Amino acid sequence: MKHLKLGSAALLMLIFSQAKSQKTTFDKPDQPAKCKNIREGKFLRPNYPEGIWYMTIKDNIQTEYFNNGKDYIKSSLVFVDDCNYKAIVLDKTVNDGRIRIGDVFSNKIVETQDNALKIHSKIENSQYEVIYIKAKK
């Protein structure tokens, strides 16, 4: 039952993030985009409390935390160039069947503005647009 609730919450979070990210606009995007901002730090999503979701990146390891940090998805990052990278799922705490160890997400940073990054993420035939806000140190 716990996994069903967590899976439902994760699905709602994904749907909500898609709706919100499409409404986020970059009025004065950086020229050129500051793609290297994704290489390390703590990242949040607009309109998401940190207890619902946050992500850290250090030494090419990306860890997404949710459920107040109790659950995570850990991925290895392989950079093709400054603005394109792949995230390969290494480990996770929830077995809901949607994301599997070994899955590869292809990511492209399409726009940045100050500490915000707009990313197109693709796995198989699904594509998502997400906005990350890099937390200030």
pLDDT tens readout for residues 72-130: 999 999 999 999 999 999 999 988 888 999 999 999 999 999 999 999 999 999 999 99
Q: Which pLDDT does position 48 carry in this prediction? A: 87
Task: Flag whether pLDDT at 46 surpasses 80.
Answer: yes
Task: Flag whether pLDDT at 19 surpasses 70.
Answer: no
Decide: residue 106, CB within 10 A, 0-12 exposed, 13-18 middle, 19+ buried. middle
Separation of CA 79 from chain center: 15
Closest by Cα among 86, 90, 69 to 77: 86
Q: Which pLDDT does position 10 carry in this prediction? A: 47
Are 42 and 54 contacting, i.e. CB atoms less than 8 angstroms apart? yes
pTM of the predicted model as reported, rounded to 2 decimal places: 0.80
